[in-house]
Amino acid sequence: MTSEKMIIQIKEWLKEAAGYIQVSLTNKLLVSQKSNRKDLVTNIDEETQAFFIKKINQNYPNDRILAEEKGFDTIESLAGRVWIIDPIDGTMNFVMEQENFCIMIAVYEDGVGQLGFIYDVMKDELYWGGRKQGVFLNDQKLQQPKDTALSKGLLGMNAYMYGKNIYAAGEIGHASMGIRVSGCAGIELIAMLKGNHIGYISNLSPWDYAAGLVLLNEFGYKYSNIEGKPLAFAKREYFLAATPTAYAQIQKDFIRN
């Protein structure tokens, strides 16, 4: 089971990693491509992930890890306790803007999210929470956002999906008050936790959404793959999260019609 000790440890690890990342921005980054020129990884992504893996192995040697870099990107199952890590979510933003990126860590037990942490490094804002514990911004407990309809709120969106109208993303965007594109899943999920956005549509891997799901679940948001099926936690897939009302509208009016 997760514990208060684990929460304290994770917060300490996040602060230490963030300090290292901030210092690294004053030095030259080693940037390389993964699948294409827009899919980047830096030495800081890899070093930050290695830092977390070392901490987990030292303190919880029997736990397993699913993470974005260096061969940790697949796992046979979510049985037992699994840590899911995105060392720098929004690497393009990290490289090009030096802001609008996050560290994300989740702890799952037998497939059920127990703890989630989304840390906006440059703002020093940690959104975190746990199952039946609520959601916090640093030390302040947040109130659950209103269940707002699609036509009444802003929607976080993947730019490619919107531009190509994949799964009617363009039409869904037009039905909302407007779309916003940040290039970082963590930033988009934070916007939902704050009540600034009513939903998020994108193409994500498990480390992009694992921490956020723990927190969205505490606030009663609905989430799934774009077709309404459970998320696989095994590959990149089209992702939908929204207020219950907006989620139902998107499924009924745009996905299943």
Distance CA 116, CA 136 (A): 10
Q: Are residues 158 and 104 in the same domain?
A: no
Q: Are residues 75 and 117 in the same domain?
A: yes
Amino acid at 37: R
3-15 confidence digits (pLDDT tens) = 899 999 999 999 9
121, 141, 161 - which closes a domain: 141
Q: What pLDDT sits at residue 1?
A: 54
Q: What pLDDT sits at residue 256?
A: 80
What's the structural domain count of the chain?
2
Q: What pLDDT sits at residue 107?
A: 98
Q: Are residues 70 and 154 in the same domain?
A: no
Q: What pLDDT sits at residue 239?
A: 98
Phi, psi of 210 (to 5 degrees): -60, -50
Q: What pLDDT sits at residue 45?
A: 81
Q: Are residues 135 and 87 in the same domain?
A: yes
Q: What pLDDT sits at residue 252?
A: 95
Helical packing angle, 185-193 and 206-218, nearest 10°: 0
Q: Are residues 18 and 131 in the same domain?
A: yes
46 is known to lie in a ligand binding site: no
Q: What is the dihedral of CA 9, 14, 15, 21, to 10 degrees?
A: 150
CATH classification at residue 73: 3.30.540.10
Q: Are residues 98 and 225 in the same domain?
A: no
Residue 83 sits in which domain range?
A: 4-141
Q: Are residues 172 and 130 in the same domain?
A: no
- Residues of the chain below pLDDT 70: 1-2, 28-42, 257
Q: Are residues 161 and 115 in the same domain?
A: no
Reported as half-sphere exposure (CB side, CA atoms, 13 A), residue 81 has a value of 13
Look at the alpha carbons of 75, 79, 80, 85 in this order and tell me if their dihedral is positive or negative.
positive
Q: What pLDDT sits at residue 91?
A: 83
199-244 confidence digits (pLDDT tens) = 999 999 999 999 999 999 999 999 999 999 999 999 899 999 999 9
87, 116, 141 - which closes a domain: 141
39 is known to lie in a ligand binding site: no
Q: Are residues 161 and 234 in the same domain?
A: yes
Q: Are residues 8 and 131 in the same domain?
A: yes
CATH classification at residue 188: 3.40.190.80
Q: What pLDDT sits at residue 257?
A: 63
171 is known to lie in a ligand binding site: no
208 is known to lie in a ligand binding site: yes
Q: What pLDDT sits at residue 153?
A: 98
68 is known to lie in a ligand binding site: yes
Q: What pLDDT sits at residue 86?
A: 95
119, 141, 163 - which closes a domain: 141
Q: Are residues 99 and 158 in the same domain?
A: no
Amino acid at 77: S
Q: Are residues 243 and 209 in the same domain?
A: yes
